[in-house]
Structure 1
């Protein structure tokens, strides 16, 4: 009686070695193609369809696209590259820093050196197949963390203009000057702090060596920052 190991080994020998459908593991075609096998993206291993591809490794001629519906395509490579995009943490610059005053605007902007277009390329070695995914910041959304606040602009959406989102407050700018991007708190945080949430929307697109390309769903990445708000102190004489 054959053991499980012998049975499996026999199936593999027949499939890859004895001509059903491959002979001697296609060694005579070395450099003219390669075997493709199923693998799971570790970042998506819990997806319902992660284990859908259960075929034995199969041969693909050099320069050809696999006919297998679940085989890696340029778009799948683009989606894989999406997962690896080095998007910076969403921490905005504020002026004044740390503590701000009730009814005085706080200016907000992004570090232009950090928030710029980024790209990642994913490829299958030896196949000539690759895809490049690019993310470009397009807007900043500000949630003050309280209803007792106003945003600039009123929508809370700061668009990208001239390659940057918002502008730093210049020295000598009057304290009550409205910023192009920012927030004004209408009530103090009473010794605590508000959690201001800044979310950057990134436009995602891709291209590939096959000429295919297009857009992927926009990415939104946000983070909270604590902002202390104090009443303006006045002195009466």
Structure 2
């Protein structure tokens, strides 16, 4: 039991009850009010469409909530075109960050939002007593308790940090940071706590934004091939180049960034049937020095083994085989302060239909 005669379980029930009601007050994220707006903004660029200016802070529209919406993405060096898609993590259980702690509010913003949340709940006769009590306790912690008057006298010295959810992560993982209440951090410092925003976390978020081109390979013979006839497969040089995305956090409290780069390293061919032989035997064709993959078929090479290709051993009958061509991308990152390293490889592929016919012979 706490000093007010309420058990921790009761306090937790009050918090969860308020979260379920989805009260639209931005400030009290982890204790009393879990805001739907935060989920919509987390990890993405701020919507600048609103032009209404707050009279107290001088900030316009959604700029009022500095939040992690300050994370922006430079995708100018990303893949483009109608066939692009996101890479899938290969050979690893790694996933992009599900949640993190980041600077979200100036002292003025936090005070304004907390007071607004308190007035909304305390003034609503339909709110249960435990909800009004939880709101009061949260307000007092920052107004007259552990902190004094929301640190308004330190307005230019730091920011309030809070939990941010990655809306792309599974619900149980992205709420893992919600147990920690908002806390004060001096400008330019990164708190020594788990999941505090770092260049490496930004690199993981940039990974999520990477787009790479599709991988429809050129085949010879094209579309229709023959049983036991080598089918050459290749991609021209210039079809696949490194792509990158830069994620940046730029707030008065912290300014960091990270660039995640995907570099193509190999093409894997999966014939769509076990009745086939791939070249090389592994089905993995390495990228040549000039950026091409495999080698175009040329007249006179019919009896040669292709450096990248397939020989089908059985007819596809009245149907087709679904050839899958997948590019493996090596993923690396660099960030503020010389940080950097490797992230798990990513893959992206496309399917294309191949018809395989028996070679017809005529007996005389």
Note the C-alpha offset of 1:215.
0.8
What does 1:107-122 correspond to in 2, within 5 Å? 107-122=232-247
SS in 1 for 2:163: coil
Q: 1:42-74: CA deviations, max 9, x gaps?
A: 22124x543221212222222211222122222
Structure 1 residue 135 and structure 2 residue 259: aligned? no
Please give the alpha-carbon distance, in whole angstroms, between the structure 1 residues aligned to 2:235 and 2:281.
18
Residue of structure 2 in register with 1:6 after alignment: 132
Change (3 A) 1:6 1:223: same
Unaligned runs of 5+ in 1: none
CA RMSD of aligned residues (A): 2.3
Please give the alpha-carbon distance, in whole angstroms, between the structure 1 residues aligned to 2:153 and 2:295.
63
Note the C-alpha offset of 1:193.
0.8
1:197 paired residue among 307, 312, 324 = 324
Residue of structure 2 in register with 1:50 after alignment: 174
The structure in which a higher percent of residues are strand is: 1
Note the C-alpha offset of 1:235.
4.5
What does 1:175-186 correspond to in 2, within 5 Å? 175-186=302-313
Residue of structure 2 in register with 1:151 after alignment: 278
Where relative contact order (Cα < 8 A, 6+ residues apart) is larger, the structure is 1
Unaligned runs of 5+ in 2: 1-121, 123-128
- How many matched pairs? 233
SS in 1 for 2:202: helix
TM-score by length of 1: 0.86
Q: 1:91-113: CA deviations, max 9, x gaps?
A: 32222221112222212123544
TM-score by length of 2: 0.58
Structure 1 residue 77 and structure 2 residue 202: aligned? yes
2:297 paired residue among 169, 178, 181 = 169
Residue of structure 2 in register with 1:66 after alignment: 191
SS in 2 for 1:43: coil
Residue of structure 2 in register with 1:34 after alignment: 159
Please give the alpha-carbon distance, in whole angstroms, between the structure 2 residues aligned to 1:95 and 1:17.
74
Note the C-alpha offset of 1:8.
3.0
